[in-house]
Amino acid sequence: MAFCALTQQGQTMRFHGLSAFPITPADADGQVLARDLRRIVRRAADEGVDSICVLGSAGGFAYLDPDQRRAAVDAALAELDGALPLIVGVGALRTDTAVSLARHAKAAGADALLVPPISYTPLTDDEVFAHYAAIAQGGGLPVCIYNNPTTTHFTFSPDLLVRLSAIPRICAVKMPLPAHGDFGAEIADLRARLPQGFSIGYSGDWGCAGAMLAGADAFYSVAAGTWPAPMLRLVRAAQAGDGAETARIDAAFQPLWSLFRQCGSFRVVHRAANLLGLSDAQPPRPILPLAPDHDAALRDAIAALDTI
C-alpha cells in the first residue's frame, strides 16, 4: 500500500480543503516581522481554514535567508499552538539547504512540507526525483509536490508524478490551473495514475471555483491568506456541489481576480495587508509595491468581498 493511502487521520489529511498562504511581512533588510506574521496567521486560523502554509510563493520564501525562514516558521507555530496543520515551504536551490529547512520544520512542530523544484541550471527528471527523495527522507514529514512552471520553470509530467508518488511521505501535488480549463478530465487522469488517497490540489485563485466543483481535494490559496472568510465560503460551497452559490461568491471575487492577473497576486496582497492594517511591510526588492493608481480598484475589490 502506498504511504499516502492511509486512513483519513493519516498523512493526506494535511492536504485537503482550503490552505491559506499568507505573506511573510519583513522589513527592508529582510528581517521577518514576527508580530505581523502572527496577526495574519491568527486571522486565518480564527476563520477555520483547513491548513496554513507559510513560505510558499505568496510568502516570499525566495527572498528570505534560511535563518529568517526558520524565524517565520517558529512565529507561525507559536501562534497556532497546534490549532490546525501548518505546512512549510522548503524550496531551495541546493538539496542540502532544503533538507536542513525540512528538518527544522519537523523539529519545530510543523505538520507537512511544500516542495518546489527551484533551479538556475534547468533540472532533469532524475535530478528532481533525487531532490524530492532526499527531502522526504531527511525531513520526515508528509510532502506536497509544488508544480508551478510559471515560477520554477519546471513542469512535472504525469509519469514523473507517478514516480514520485512511490516515495514514502510524498502524498500530494499542488497543480497549476490546466491550460485547457478542463479540471474534471485532468483530475480523472491523475486519479487513474496516482495511488489511491494521493491528494490532488490546485492553485491560481481565479480557478478555485472550477477546481473544487470538479472534485479537487485541496485548494492552495493566496487570497485565503488575507481574506480567509470569503475564500472559505467559496470552497465550502464548491465542496458541497452548490454551483449557484459558488458562482455567486466567485462573482464577488472577480475584481480581485482581475487585479491578481493584471498585477500579480504577490504585489496585490502586500498592498492589501497595508490597507487592511495587517502590516506596513512592502514587497522585497527588486519587487516594487503595487502602483498607487491601483489603490482605488483594490479598495473596490475589498469592498466587494464584504458582500459575500
Q: Among all residues, which ones are annotated catalytic?
A: 146, 174
Listed in sequence order, the residues at least 6 apart from 184 whose beta carbon sits closer than 8 Å to its beta carbon are 214, 215
Residues near 111 by beta carbon (within 8 Å), at least 6 away in sequence: 14, 51, 85, 86, 87, 141, 142
Please, is 271 exposed, middle or buried when counting C-beta atoms within 10 Å of its C-beta (0-12, 13-18, 19+)? buried
Task: Assess contact for 298 and 290: CB atoms under 8 A.
Answer: yes
Tell me which residue of 147, 37, 36, 14 sits closest to 87, measured CA to CA.
14
Residues 6+ apart with CB under 8 A from 259: 268, 294, 297, 298, 301
Measuring CA to CA, which residue among 197, 134, 123 is closest to residue 160? 123
Amino acid identity at 63: Y
The answer to whether the CB of 214 falls within 8 A of the CB of 181 is no
Angle at alpha carbon of residue 218, lines to 283 and 112, rounded to 5°: 70
- Residues 4, 99, 135, CA angle at the centre, nearest 5°? 25
Q: Which candidate, 297, 300, 305, places its Cα nearest to that of 229?
A: 305
Nearest to 177 by CA among 199, 154, 209: 209
